[in-house]
Structures are given as structure tokens and as C-alpha cells.
């Protein structure tokens, strides 16, 4: 039985990467072909936010809490190399997957004899600055493979890496389409950070609300920009119609009762939240950026608007509110698209990667 390790900073938080890792670990464990471990850089003080099978071990490097400023982050990641090296030597996993670009750079610096080192990049390459791109270009060559989420990222990395594998995110729940009456609710979800563009959505909703006062906007998630978004909501006098309820563990239930899903992101990798909304049959509005364009075809299974375009978001929302026929058409098409990303389809790609990847023999520092 092959031993697999998924390496990430903290499995107890409620981000998209943590959700993907838990779902993937559960799916691979269910095949009964692998011994699956989760390795965290900081000690897990609580249970994972997302469901994880009790037989999956959670190991830790017991490093200090994740730092805030950029310089401290660089030093923090470099300090992970030595304890990660020690962990691999003591536990001898067949394959270790590093979740995210920074951890993949750490893994690239580790020396291994037999353990295959596979990096998993969750951010679109267009969102990287010049320094991050330069470092990836040189250190990722020390990995045995790199997993990316979109065809655009695969093309980009193949220009300087040999083994770049395209495996999109997936959903592991089915039969979620809700056929009852839906609320007059526009919904969005994700971390409350600048990347997600929720400030744009709230500004767009200001004029939507003036035209359609019976509709509400609910944004699920938590993050560093909560105060900023709350102030914006207050400044626009939208406190009674814009709700920021924080995290929820019943996101599917909340999505099922809504009528429209909006993703106004400034950049994305391969957004799992969008895929979940499409699974429950929500008509979706998204910014036309890399990562999203892998899923959405404008006017076919969703509506696309230009990035940072408040007016475009507003017009798209009003268009959907004004046409139940368009909502139903996009709802049907989005469910068809989402079915291509079910775990039963995508898990074969992971098993092929595990079975076919060879250790390239390149050491770290």
C-alpha cells in the first residue's frame, strides 16, 4: 500500500485549498489502495473544518504560527525545509504533495532518495509578480511533477518544466439540484480579501437594490477585509439588504435557496465555490479572468463581465432578475458543466499521476 502525504500550512482553516485536500484525501483513502496522511506545518489545535475520514492521519511539523508580513513569510518558509526533510527521512512516504506555490518551493529544496515530490499550484500564473515567477521557474525544476488547475497554466509552465499535469478541482456531492421556490437572494462566497472583489459586488448591488428593492445580497466567508466591507455597506445604507454572515458549514443548503450566484474576483485559480454553485443549478455571473474562463462560456452556462467593472456586474444581475427564462436556461447548462468535474471523473487523473510519476533524482539544496 503506497503512503501518500498532503502537505499544507493548516488543515483546520476553512479555505478552498483545505476543502480540496480533505475531499481528495477522502477519495483516495476510499480506494483502499493508499495510506493517506495530512502534514501541517503548524500544530493542528482543532479538528479539520471540513470532514476528514478518521483513518487519515494528521501529522505536524509543529512550526510557529503563520506570519503576517512578506519578509517574515520568506524566512518562515525557508525554516520549513529542515523539519520537512527530517519528516520525509523518518516516514518514507512514496509521494508527497505540497499544496500551494510557497510550500512547493520548500519541497523543491528538500533532498529525497525515493519519495516523489509533486507540487500543486492553486494560483493562476498571471497573478504572480516577477519575483515569484522567477523563483518558480528555477526551483520547480527540482520537483518530480507539477499539478495545475487550468490549460492556460499548463501551457505556461510547460515552457520550462517537463512534467506538468492538468487536474482541475472537483466536487464530491451530487443530486443537489433544488426544484422548490428560491429566495430573492444573490449569493457570493469566499475569503473576505481584495482578490475576491466583494467590494465591487456591493457597489454594483447599490443600484440593483434601487431598481429591485425586494432582493438581498448575502456574502459568506471571513477575512481581513470584513471591516472594510461592513463600512462600505454602511456608507451605501445597505445594512438591511447586504448580509455578511461569516463562515457556514451548510453552504450547499444556502446555495440551493438562492437565485443568483456572483463571483466578482480580480484573479482566481480554479474556483471551487463557482463549481459548487453550478452543481446546485445556480445561474452564475463571473468576471472574465483566467481560471473562470475554463468553466464559463458567456451566455451559454453563465454570464461573464469585465474585471473590476461595477456597471457590468450591475447590468448582469438586473438582466438575470428580469428574465426567469434566462435563469432557468443557465441553471440547466451550469449543472451539465459541473457534472464533468465530479470526483468519480477526476480521481482517475490523480491515480494515474501517482502511478506514472517517476522520481527524477534531482536533489534540493
Predicted local confidence at residue 78, as pLDDT? 82
φ/ψ (deg, to 5) at 336: -65, -45
Q: Are residues 321 and 297 part of one domain?
A: yes
Q: Is residue 180 part of a domain?
A: no
Task: Report yes or no on 117 lying in a domain.
Answer: yes
The number of domains in the chain is: 2
Query: 200 and 108 in one domain?
Result: no
Same domain for 114 and 30, yes or no, is: yes
Q: Is residue 66 part of a domain?
A: yes
Q: Domain of 315?
A: 185-341
Residue 224 lies in a domain: yes
Q: What's the rounded Cα separation, in Å, for the pair 190 and 196?
A: 7
Question: For residue 66, how many C-alpha atoms fall within 13 Å in the half-sphere facing its CB?
Answer: 12
Q: Do 54 and 33 sit in the same domain of this protein?
A: yes
364 within some domain: no
Together in a domain, 315 and 202? yes
Looking at the structure, do residues 276 and 244 belong to the same domain, yes or no? yes
In 3D space, the residue among 260, 150, 168 whose CA is nearest the CA of residue 216 turns out to be 260
One domain for residues 198 and 290: yes
Q: Are residues 260 and 158 in the same domain?
A: no
**What SS3 state is found at 275?**
helix
DSSP 175-210: -----S---SEEEEES-SSGGG-HHHHHHHHHHHHH
CATH of the domain at 33: 3.40.50.2000
Q: For residue 28, give the DSSP letter.
A: H
Same domain, yes or no: 141 and 196: no
Q: 464559463: which residue's cell?
A: 296
Say yes or no: 7 and 127 in one domain.
yes
pTM value? 0.84
Residues in the chain with pLDDT values less than 70: 65-71, 174-180, 357-365
In a domain, 128, yes or no: yes
Same domain? For 189 and 237 the reply is yes
Q: Is residue 276 part of a domain?
A: yes
Q: Are residues 234 and 308 in the same domain?
A: yes
Q: Is residue 238 part of a domain?
A: yes
Q: How far, CA to CA in Å, does 329 sit from each of 173, 182, 281?
A: 22, 15, 10
Which residues, in sequence order, are CB contacts of 309 under 8 Å at separation 6+? 200, 287
Amino acid at each position: 500500500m503506497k503512503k501518500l502525504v498532503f502537505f499544507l500550512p493548516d488543515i483546520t482553516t476553512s479555505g478552498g485549498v483545505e476543502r480540496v485536500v480533505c475531499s481528495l484525501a477522502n477519495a483516495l483513502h476510499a480506494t483502499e489502495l493508499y495510506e493517506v496522511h495530512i502534514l501541517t506545518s503548524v500544530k493542528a489545535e482543532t479538528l479539520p473544518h471540513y470532514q476528514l475520514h478518521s483513518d487519515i492521519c494528521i501529522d505536524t511539523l509543529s512550526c510557529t504560527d503563520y506570519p503576517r508580513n512578506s519578509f517574515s513569510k520568506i524566512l518562515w518558509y525557508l525554516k520549513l525545509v529542515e523539519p520537512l526533510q527530517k519528516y520525509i527521512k523518518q516516514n518514507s512516504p512514496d509521494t508527497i504533495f505540497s499544496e500551494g506555490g510557497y510550500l512547493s518551493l520548500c519541497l523543491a529544496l528538500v533532498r529525497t532518495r525515493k519519495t516523489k515530490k509533486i507540487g500543486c499550484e492553486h494560483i493562476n500564473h498571471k497573478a504572480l509578480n516577477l519575483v515569484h515567477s522567477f523563483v518558480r521557474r528555477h526551483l520547480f525544476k527540482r520537483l518530480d511533477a507539477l499539478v495545475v488547475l487550468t490549460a492556460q497554466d499548463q501551457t505556461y509552465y510547460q515552457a520550462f518544466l517537463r512534467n506538468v499535469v492538468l487536474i482541475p478541482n472537483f466536487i464530491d456531492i451530487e443530486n443537489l439540484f433544488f426544484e422548490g421556490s428560491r429566495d430573492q437572494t444573490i449569493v457570493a462566497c469566499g475569503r473576505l480579501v481584495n482578490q475576491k472583489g466583494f467590494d465591487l459586488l456591493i457597489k454594483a448591488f447599490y443600484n440593483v437594490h434601487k431598481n429591485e428593492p425586494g432582493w438581498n445580497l448575502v456574502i459568506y466567508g471571513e477575512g481581513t477585509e470584513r471591516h472594510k466591507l461592513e463600512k462600505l455597506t454602511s456608507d451605501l445604507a445597505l445594512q438591511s439588504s447586504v448580509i455578511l454572515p461569516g463562515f457556514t458549514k451548510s453552504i450547499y443548503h444556502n446555495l440551493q435557496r438562492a437565485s443568483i450566484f456572483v463571483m466578482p474576483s480580480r484573479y482566481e485559480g480554479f474556483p471551487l465555490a463557482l463549481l459548487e454553485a453550478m452543481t446546485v443549478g445556480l445561474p452564475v455571473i463571473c468576471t472574465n479572468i483566467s481560471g473562470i474562463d475554463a468553466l464559463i462560456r458567456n451566455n451559454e452556462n453563465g454570464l461573464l463581465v469585465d474585471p473590476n467593472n461595477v456597471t457590468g456586474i450591475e447590468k448582469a444581475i438586473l438582466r438575470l432578475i428580469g428574465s426567469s427564462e434566462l435563469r432557468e436556461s443557465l441553471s440547466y447548462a451550469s449543472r451539465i458543466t459541473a457534472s464533468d468535474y465530479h470526483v468519480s471523473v477526476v480521481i482517475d487523473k490523480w491515480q494515474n499521476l501517482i502511478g506514472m510519476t517517476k522520481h527524477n533524482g534531482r536533489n534540493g539544496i
